[in-house]
Amino acid sequence: MAAGWRGSGRLLFLLQKHPSCVSLSQNLNQFARISFKFSTIHSQEAMTDQPQSDLGLYKPPQTVRGMTELDRAAFSQTVSVPAIRIQTSVLNKVVKSLKKVALQRPGLKRVVEEHNEDGNKDSSKGEHRLLLLDPNSITSADSFGSEESDALKAYGVPQEIQKYELKLTYENLKSEEILRAVLPEGQDVTSGFSRVGHIAHMNLRDHQLPYGKLIGQVIIDKNPGVTCVVNKTNTIDSTYRNFQMEVLAGESNMVAKVRENGVFYEFDFSRVYWNPRLSTEHERIVSLLQRGDTVVDIFAGVGPFAIPAARRGCEVLANDLNPESFRWLQHNTKLNKVDNKITSFNMDGRDFIRGPVRERLPALMKGTQKIHMVMNLPALALEFLDAFRNLLGPEPDQSVSCQKNNLPQMHCYGFSKEDDAQRDVVERAEASLKISLQGQCSVHLVRNVAPNKEMMCVSFTLPREVLYSTHTLDKDISEEPCPKKQKCEDLTD
């Protein structure tokens, strides 16, 4: 959660530095939305460290500290909680009125029968039930708020509190309680996970590694639908952008089935790239497309731009170097019944641009439908832009090639660790293209990837000076060095 808001703070800082940056300020609302979405995801996903009002209820037995093999029975404990006695005739109504102060725990009944001193059900008290209350809200009969007091009076329920000995078991505990009880005291137990279908994907810290199997099992127990927990064992620096991972707990089936923006995907998560946090970005780009446009996806992965684009009525050329991504991309085109709209390639991005793209581009540019090129390989894509230089050779006929609206619309992604991430990515695009993009690009902040690392998207119309060799680009850029000032404007203005 913190990362998202830190990111938006930094964005404001960028805006203060560059008040003229129209595109970035327009993106602020979008980013605020994304940040909020991240924070939601993180709080849903985080196993630990979020404030939990009733964590104090459970005082774990010391015997569980340091446990590495999960022994669920060892977590059972009897605790004393407040309860109120309610006649069965008004039970439902009173429970509804006291819902804010009632005890809430996974798998726990909060309305219980009364027992006599031997612990047996007391049939003489059959007309009444006990409602268990949250000890953080109710400590005595005076703790009820006016709303609850009024309801109790109205239904004739005596405002008296009694103690109830409640047996809490592993099933009633939250994952953070279990992990706090097990992991070494004083050490951070925060450990978020991303969910990809049935797989929970974690990045454990060193001190958590000895407890990996137990942590994995707890996640499976506490998250319905998760049947496999994996831990990243490297950073994402492989060519194919996939993680190496080890299974911590559960089944070792790595073939995930996910749904993103209404589209179904299947893939082997251990062998391809998939990031659930890019769904908003996929949707953003797809929303720019019109039926009949052509989409060229140079680093397509398993299809999260290509397939929705095809479903929207676009013709798609989709490429990925990873043979596994290519295989799953083809599988997904069939799964979503768009195999007639997508031509897929398994090539290096530069070869793809200089081969199939070069072959098709002149004809596409003669048409009136837009051509969008998507380059989502943020670690390298900006450098790949050089493959477009002189791509089409000498300009054949100025009157045809000058139709600006038929030049490809580029959406190129880049990571940046610079304070001015926007300027950084634009300058890197300019350096690859050897042309200034001043006044001709927009930059979108996609997401805050890590502290001080942003993922950005630079969008621009590919200048014809880049595509045709008749223009002396090296001269252009050397005579007019990248300006150091802000140089991005929104093309829609």
Ligand X SMILES: C[S@@+](CC[C@H](N)C(=O)[O-])C[C@H]1O[C@@H](n2cnc3c(N)ncnc32)[C@H](O)[C@@H]1O
Of 260-319, binders to ligand X (CB under 6 A) are 273, 275, 278, 299-301, 304-305, 319
Residues 406/294, Cβ–Cβ less than 8 Å: no
349 belongs to an annotated ligand binding site: yes
232: DSSP letter: E
- Total of chain residues touching ligand X, rule CB under 6 A: 20
Q: Is 194 in the site for ligand X (CB under 6 A)?
A: no
When CB distances to ligand X are compared, the closest residue is 301
Length of the chain: 493
Q: Is 376 in the site for ligand X (CB under 6 A)?
A: yes
Count the Cβ atoms, other than its own, within 10 Å of residue 361.
Answer: 23
Which residue in the set 129, 195, 201, 241 belongs to the binding site for ligand X (CB under 6 A)? 241
Q: Beta 453-461 vs 441-450: how paired, if at all?
A: antiparallel
Q: Which is nearer to ligand X, 275 or 344 (CB)?
A: 275
CB-count exposure of residue 194 (10 Å: 0-12, 13-18, 19+)? middle
Candidate ranges 8-16, 65-73, 236-244, 256-264; the one touching ligand X (CB under 6 A): 236-244
Q: Which residues contact 195 (CB under 8 A, 6 or more apart)?
A: 45, 201, 223, 226, 276
Map residues 322-341 to x or -, x wherever contact with ligand X holds by CB under 6 A: x--x----------------
282 belongs to an annotated ligand binding site: yes
Q: Is 349 in the site for ligand X (CB under 6 A)?
A: yes
Q: Which is nearer to ligand X, 230 or 272 (CB)?
A: 272
Q: Which is nearer to ligand X, 383 or 420 (CB)?
A: 383
H helix or E strand, kind and range, residue 315: strand 315-319
H helix or E strand, kind and range, residue 195: strand 193-196
Q: Is 408 in the site for ligand X (CB under 6 A)?
A: no
CA distance 364 to 406: 8
Q: Which amino acid is at 223?
A: N
Q: Which is nearer to ligand X, 129 or 411 (CB)?
A: 411
Pick from 298, 193, 281, 282: nearest CA to 243: 193
Q: Is 197 in the site for ligand X (CB under 6 A)?
A: no
Which residue in the set 177, 315, 320, 424 belongs to the binding site for ligand X (CB under 6 A)? 320
Tell me how many degrees the CA angle 410-416-418 measures, rounded to the nearest 5.
Answer: 130
Minimum distance, C-beta of residue 282 to ligand X, in the bound complex (Å): 6
User: First CA to last CA across the chain, in angstroms?
Assistant: 33
Tell me which residues touch ligand X (CB under 6 A).
Answer: 239-241, 273, 275, 278, 299-301, 304-305, 319-322, 325, 348-349, 376-377
Annotated binding site: 282, 320-321, 348-349, 376
Annotated binding site for S-adenosyl-L-methionine: 282, 320-321, 348-349, 376
